[in-house]
């Protein structure tokens, strides 16, 4: 059977503890291929590989405005904007005609490169050179109001491109996956991480983080920067950005996301609010 190849990220793009799973495990934990167009805001963040002479997938992201992509700050490192391209739309994963240039990278000012994702504020905006053309396969995801409280045990979805490695697709596989995960309260999540940490007194899960996932069901198959979305009143709302997770051996430890409600006002300093 096909094994999932690890999503290998450069050192500047790797989150602590993100780790891939194989396809056999995928079949048992609720991760499966996403139909094309089901998550039309899903974006792929690319960096150019001199060795392979192509733009390679390094992280996920989401289209929050026709000209703006939301991702994790640890995905952007310190390179210039010209080092990146973005692809939206899922139809042909490596289609050079669909790559968009990035003209500006804005990591949150509180993000600490030395602490990486575990330090918090793991969120960044990418401004595209021009607005993308919206279509059935390319749409914008809604952002939550800052006041939204995400209830424990609510079932939400995390999506990504986790079976892409070094620019190659596994034969017979669609390029995106999806998994339904329950929201885990911060206090319970922090307890999980303290139980698997030598430093049991420290608050590991900060207020600007959101946890989701149960045993074997989380986003650690790859794709930092990708969206965690929940359905509210028939609208998909992005509540999290894939940030970090613990080592794969702790199967009951939830995945950790940047809590989007903590940063909505910051996002709207740059990204225009949708017209009513």
Q: Are 211 and 239 in contact (CB under 8 A)?
A: no
Report d(CA 23, CA 3) in Å as an integer.
5
**Whether 82 is catalytic:** no
Active-site choice (122, 208, 223, 246): 122
> Which residue in 62, 219, 224, 262 is the catalytic one?
224
DSSP string over 107-159: E-TT--TTTGGGGS---EEEEESSPPPPBTTB-PPBPPPTT----TT-EEEEE
Q: Which listed residue (65, 74, 108, 192) is catalytic?
A: 74
d(CA 72, CA 208): 13
- The answer to whether 122 is a known catalytic residue is yes
Helix, strand, coil distribution of the chain in percent, nearest 5: 15, 35, 50
First to last CA, the chain: 49
97 a catalytic residue: no
Nearest to 16 by CA among 114, 123, 157: 114
Secondary element (H or E) of residue 28: helix 23-29
Q: How far apart are CA 173 and CA 152, in angstroms?
A: 33
Q: Which residues are catalytic?
A: 74, 122, 224
């Amino acid at each position: 059977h096909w094994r999932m190849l690890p999503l290998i990220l450069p050192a500047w793009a790797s989150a602590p503890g993100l780790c891939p799973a194989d396809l056999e495990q995928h079949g048992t934990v609720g991760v499966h291929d996403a139909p094309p167009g089901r998550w039309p805001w899903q974006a792929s963040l690319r960096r150019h590989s001199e060795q392979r002479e192509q733009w390679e997938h390094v992280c996920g992201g989401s289209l929050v405005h026709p000209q703006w992509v939301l991702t994790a700050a640890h995905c952007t490192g310190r390179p210039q904007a010209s080092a990146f391209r973005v692809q939206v739309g899922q139809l042909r994963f490596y289609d050079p005609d669909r790559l968009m240039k990035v003209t500006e990278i804005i990591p949150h000012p509180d993000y600490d490169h030395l602490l990486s994702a575990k330090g918090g504020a793991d969120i960044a905006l990418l401004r595209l050179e021009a607005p993308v053309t919206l279509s059935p396969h390319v749409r914008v995801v809604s952002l939550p109001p800052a006041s939204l409280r995400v209830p424990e045990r609510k079932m939400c979805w995390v999506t990504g491109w986790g079976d892409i490695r070094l620019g190659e697709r596994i034969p017979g596989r669609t390029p995106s996956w999806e998994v339904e995960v329950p929201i885990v309260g911060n206090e319970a999540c922090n307890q999980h991480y303290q139980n698997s940490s030598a430093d049991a007194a420290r608050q590991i899960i900060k207020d600007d983080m959101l946890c989701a996932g149960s045993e074997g069901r989380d986003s650690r198959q790859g794709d930092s920067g990708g969206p965690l979305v929940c359905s509210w009143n028939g609208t998909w709302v992005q509540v999290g950005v894939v940030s970090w997770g613990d080592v794969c051996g702790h199967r009951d430890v939830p995945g950790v996301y940047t809590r989007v409600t903590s940063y909505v006002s910051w996002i709207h300093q740059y990204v225009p609010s949708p017209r009513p």
